[in-house]
């Protein structure tokens, strides 16, 4: 673990294994921390806060810029580590490392864009000054599906704002987190400013993060159930909270759209990271006049996808994170099949040959999906594309909005008026219009409803780590 500028073991001296989800091989060991380690990390962050928060924005900017340089220089090693530890194909890992580095350089600049303002008074002998100040010690909990970019998306703005941080990375991908901390340490981050606690059981760490009064903000990316639980506990200390949670994204193909173009986009997006992305499309609404051409194209595309170890040439879909993830998807697909869904491509667990020791599920297309099927309501988080045929253009927005989630949505249309009406009508935080990658470090990312609170990235990202302080001056 990394506490107060030092690499340290857990207080109790225990470790847990880290495995490759494609092969089952043990690829490393990490300290198995507990509550006492989380407290030690908060001690260090709290002690470092005063000095760090008093550094200039230019000093913080230079440090983040140096971290960006180092991450860029080490991009290939980081990508290979991510593929081995998390499983995604090497091409996707390279793209994620670049995305992660983008947050460092973006917030290196945003550090210098934190502005205050003079405000008017009714009294001629009074002046008001409003400024932004760092919120304090930040506790962060990050997921396994994007094990490097989800760290920098939180650490970049927190450090730029002048906050100190304690991070608990996902137990499935702590080696990637360690590599990120090596980048920051080599960039010259002072002792105590960033701290990392690893653990096989996240619960004791989360309990400390949400109960220690020195922690002023909690930021979490993960499941809706865990996010709600952490936010409820954080309320006891009135901690600032930002949570980016699950999704159930609709993908709407309007009758004027090119169904072949839309199907190519859906196939590229749905099977990215083996479908293990919170913005992955889970409900593909295709107008009945175009569903035939759409299904033909997406089935051709998905049928050609190669599943396997992400380091192997030609592999487009890697393993799932663990066996429980495969079992969940198996159950959803079987439920849909029993209720009348077609399964023209895939449909089952892969267990033969090179797949035998890993957690693989065949890239799958389901057709004739109906609202009584589990997959229509539940987030899948796997390589399954459920296609839903619809006939009423006026009702498809209502169908898309019929969910408690509100993270991402996608629209394919050739008419600007249709695109604008869909953009205005869909109750989701991120909407791609003929675009399967509507994200960037320079734009806000976050959801509505059960998909979370707050925004990361863009100009809004740093505001999550700032408080407003107002001074009234009698002169």
Residue 29: what pLDDT? 98
Residue 306: what pLDDT? 97
Helix residue ranges, H only, 4-128? 35-53, 57-73, 75-86, 90-110
Angle (CA) 286-411-253 rounded to 5° is 15
CATH of domain 249-440: 3.40.309.10
What's the whole-model pTM score? 0.96
Residue 28: what pLDDT? 98
Q: Which superfamily does CATH assign the domain made up of 2-245+451-474 to?
A: Aldehyde Dehydrogenase; Chain A, domain 1 (3.40.605.10)
**Domain residue extents for the chain:** 2-245+451-474, 249-440
Q: What are the E-state strand segments in 275-416?
A: 281-287, 342-345, 349-350, 360-361, 364-367, 384-390, 405-406, 408-412
Give the H or E element holding residue 126: strand 126-134
Residue 400: what pLDDT? 98
User: Is residue 278 annotated as a catalytic residue, yes or no?
Assistant: yes
Task: Count CA atoms closer than 13 A to 318's CA, side-chain side.
Answer: 28
For residue 345, how many other CB atoms are within 10 A of its CB? 22
Residue 73: what pLDDT? 98
Residue 79: what pLDDT? 98
Catalytic residue among 85, 278, 299, 379: 278
Block means of pLDDT (10 residues each) for the chain, 475 residues, are: 98 98 98 98 98 98 98 98 98 98 98 96 97 98 98 98 98 98 98 98 97 98 96 95 97 98 97 96 98 98 97 97 97 98 97 96 98 96 98 96 97 98 98 97 97 96 97 97
Catalytic residue among 110, 244, 379, 464: 244
User: What DSSP string runs through 287-307?
Assistant: ETTTHHHHHHHHHHHHHT--B
Comparing C-alpha atoms, which of 94, 220, 216, 107 is closest to residue 169?
220
User: Is residue 424 annotated as a catalytic residue, yes or no?
Assistant: no
């Amino acid at each position: 673990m990394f506490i107060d500028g030092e690499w340290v073991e857990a207080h109790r001296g225990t470790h847990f294994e880290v495995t490759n989800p494609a092969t089952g091989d043990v690829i490393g060991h990490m300290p198995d921390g507990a509550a006492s380690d989380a407290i030690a990390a908060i001690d260090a962050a709290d002690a470092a806060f005063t000095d760090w928060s008093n550094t200039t924005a230019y000093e913080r900017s230079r440090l983040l810029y140096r971290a960006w340089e180092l991450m860029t220089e080490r991009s290939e090693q980081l990508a290979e580590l991510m593929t081995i530890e998390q499983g995604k194909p090497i091409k996707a890992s390279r793209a994620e490392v670049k995305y992660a580095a983008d947050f460092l350089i973006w917030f290196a600049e945003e550090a210098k864009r934190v502005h205050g303002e003079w405000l008017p008074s009714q009294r001629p002998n009074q002046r008001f000054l409003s400024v932004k100040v760092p919120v304090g010690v930040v506790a962060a909990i990050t997921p396994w599906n994007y094990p490097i970019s989800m760290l920098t998306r939180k650490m970049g703005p927190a450090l730029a704002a002048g906050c100190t941080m304690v991070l608990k990375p996902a137990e499935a991908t702590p080696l990637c987190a360690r590599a990120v901390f090596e980048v920051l340490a080599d960039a010259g981050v002072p002792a105590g400013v960033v701290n990392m606690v690893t653990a096989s059981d996240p619960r004791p760490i989360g309990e400390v993060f949400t109960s220690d009064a020195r922690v002023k903000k909690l930021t979490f990316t993960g499941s809706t159930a865990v996010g709600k639980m952490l936010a409820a506990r954080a309320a006891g200390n009135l901690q600032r909270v930002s949570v980016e949670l699950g999704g159930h994204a609709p993908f709407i193909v309007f009758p004027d759209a090119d169904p072949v173009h839309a199907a190519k986009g859906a196939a590229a997006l749905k099977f990215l990271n083996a479908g293990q992305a919170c913005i992955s499309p889970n409900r593909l609404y295709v107008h009945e006049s175009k569903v035939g051409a759409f299904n033909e194209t997406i089935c051709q595309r998905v049928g050609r996808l190669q599943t396997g170890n992400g380091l192997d040439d030609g592999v487009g879909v890697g393993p799932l994170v663990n066996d429980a993830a495969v079992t969940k998807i198996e159950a959803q697909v079987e439920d849909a099949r029993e209720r009348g869904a077609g399964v023209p491509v895939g449909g089952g667990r892969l267990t033969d040959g090179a797949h035998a020791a890993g957690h693989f599920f065949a890239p799958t297309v389901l057709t004739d999906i109906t609202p009584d099927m589990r997959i229509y309501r539940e987030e899948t988080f796997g390589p399954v594309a459920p296609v839903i045929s619809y006939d009423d253009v006026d009702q498809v927005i209502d169908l898309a909005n019929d969910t408690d989630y509100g993270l991402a949505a996608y629209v394919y249309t050739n008419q600007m008026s249709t695109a604008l009406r869909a953009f205005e009508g869909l109750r989701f935080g991120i909407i791609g219009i003929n675009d399967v990658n509507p994200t960037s470090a320079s734009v806000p990312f976050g959801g509505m409803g059960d998909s979370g609170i707050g925004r990361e990235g863009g100009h809004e990202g740093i505001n999550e780590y700032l408080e407003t302080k107002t001074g009234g001056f009698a002169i």
